[in-house]
Chain A
Amino acid sequence: MELLVCVKQVPDDSVSVKLGADGQPDLKDITPVVNAFDTYALEMATRFKEANGGTVSVVTVGDLETVTPSLRSCLSVGADSAYDVNETEGCVNGLIAAAAQKAGSFDVIFVGSESTDKASMEVGARVSNKLGLPLVTNILALEPADGGLKIKQETEDGYRTILCPTPCVVTVVKPDYEPRYPSIKSKLAARKMPIGEFKAADLGVEACGTHKVETVKISAPAKRQAGIKIIEKEKEVAVARAMDMLAERKLV
């Protein structure tokens, strides 16, 4: 099957983002990485390819030079080809949907269930809507079945088994395995692979008008004051001190 994974480059989510003097997130010293949930999606797609044959492509939206390291990283861990929609403005979902149609004829389009930066959790729904494809969200696993796919979906209290025809869109949550690491060989190979480039005009996507939802303010959450740190050689003493503090506040 032909598989497409939609990826987003985000600031490393292990770093706490501070508010800049201009009231915007200060991202300049934070390493850009591929969104963690998209790496799960890419790993799932790659495993599916290894088990069932086919190819894996990745697509992103953003300034080509800026996103190239992320696309190369995807190419080193399973992707066979990579595309960038070289635009920094416009409706991302519309661009992704149009690129998906232009780049090939895909049976399954994978999307991370959320991004670690904005976490709007809407790309799967918007892209599947634009393409008129069925959508299965929060998936943990998929396999071919009855000419379509048998999908395991994570739910609030367990899971569902869903049968879905292809082509379709799926959004991926964290499965019980980690994405693979690249090898030196796969890294070198990825460097030589071409990256396809689209512009909005090639895709026939007109610049979109005003956004339906606008961010009016970005702020930092209230900071808590650090309290007392107990460092004692004797654990009994440390615990006794902590217990006294709790008792004083009638918490135990």
Chain B
Amino acid sequence: MEKQGILVYLECADGHIVKVSLEAMNAAQKLAAMTGKKIGAVLVNSASAAAEAAANGADFVLAVNAGDYNAEAYAAMLAQLMADYEPAYMLVGSTRDGKDIAARAAAAQGAGLITDAFDLNEEGWVRSIYGGSLMATMKAEGPVVVTVRSGSFGKPELKEGASAPVETVEAPIIKIRATVREAVKELGEAVNLEDAEVIVAGGRGLGSAENFKLVEELAEVLGGVVGASRPAIEDGWVSRDHQVGQSGKIVAPKLYIAVGISGAIQHVSGMSGSGYIVAINKDEDAPIFEVADCGIVANCLDVLPLMIEEIKKRKA
């Protein structure tokens, strides 16, 4: 393989490439179009996804045989790939584990790190700073590891029937210090906020887990997905995979209904790309109204039941 290319670490679940990794492939294609570089997909214990990687733009596949996930081991593997293949760019989807091993591999290789990039243009990679109130365009001198934020680049157009040569690579054997004793899955079905056409999101203004159910009900009658701002998640009303904004996802549905959300910049930066925004908040001065196409100044607990009724009526 020629050096100074693009490597993309692809996370797989149930034999398929996860969505944020597909977005990383899309970022890689954008980068390849700008630089003429080749794209190598890194698949760990998932050689069966090679065709899927090719259909998503991989020019070649590195099929790595490794043990079960361990951050030290997987970071050492990425670092080894960087040392052997000398990519100019190593792209990783911004999952928790993806960001973990990306930072470790960058540190081990003395490479640059750009975290949570959401766009790429001729000037560089664009990412949020100050909670999303500003954006920084960043450029690297020398090799760089870039993590790609969920919900930012979209999936690549599929190249049906494409194939790519597969090279098998053995992960380096290292002495692991921090060992995983147990991995517990607490969250159920993956929440697909990125592809949702309608999102109904709730915040602190709902007041309780009980009241938050109204958000779920409105989402259901609209055929939408439930989102949330950070306070609703911290109070445990809904699981954290529903979070929209700075530490959650970037979303851009056709319709976004913000219920009892004040509109902190950390939240707004994740949803201001929505097609049409409805905000319901009893505080007339809430900053959420500055981005809302339609703002209802009222107690959301009064408004939600009426809205749910009204939509049911219109659907009937």
Contacts and interface: CB of A to CB of B under 8 A. Distances in A.
Label chain A's interface by main secondary structure: mixed
A13 B186 contact: no
B135 A242 contact: no
A216 B295 contact: no
B37 to A, nearest CB: 19
Given A121-B103, A138-B100, A243-B314, A221 B135 contact: yes
A247 B313 CA distance: 13
B302 A235 contact: yes
Interface stretch (B28-36, B81-89, B271-279): B271-279
A81 B159 CA distance: 59
A53 B272 CA distance: 48
B272 A243 contact: no
B142 interface: yes
Interface string A115-148: 0111111101110111000111110000000000
Interface stretch (B41-49, B55-63, B113-121): B113-121
Interface stretch (B1-9, B208-216, B285-293): B285-293
B167 interface: no
A134 B175 CA distance: 11
Contact of B296 (A156, A216, A218, A242): A242
Contacts of A161: 180-184
Nearest to A214: B139
B295 A228 contact: yes
B184 A159 contact: yes
Interface stretch (A163-171, A183-191, A195-203): A163-171
Size range of the chain A interface in the assembly: 35 or more
B255 interface: yes
A89 to B, nearest CB: 18
A142 to B, nearest CB: 12
B220 interface: no
Q: How large is the interface on B (under 10, 10 to 19, 20 to 34, 35 or more residues)?
A: 35 or more
A239 interface: yes
B133 A17 contact: yes
Interface string A88-124: 0000000000000000000000000010111111101
Contacts of A19: 134
Interface centre among B96, B100, B178, B254 (most CB of A within 10 A): B178
Given A129-B107, A246-B255, A164 B178 contact: yes
A202 to B, nearest CB: 24
B296 A238 contact: yes
Contact of A230 (B241, B294, B310): B294
B183 A229 contact: no
Given A128-B107, A229-B295, 7 more contacts: A129-B108, A158-B184, A161-B180, A165-B177, A212-B141, A227-B292, A252-B314
Interface of B: 71-72, 95-97, 99-100, 103-104, 106-108, 110-116, 123-124, 128-142, 144, 177-187, 190, 198, 222, 234, 236, 241, 246-247, 254-255, 264-266, 269, 272, 276-278, 284, 289-298, 302-303, 306-307, 310-311, 314
- Report, nearest first, the 3 A-B pairs whose CB atoms are least far apart: A212-B112, A125-B103, A227-B293
13 contacts: A17-B134, A122-B107, A126-B107, A137-B71, A161-B184, A165-B177, A213-B139, A213-B140, A214-B141, A216-B138, A229-B289, A242-B294, A251-B198
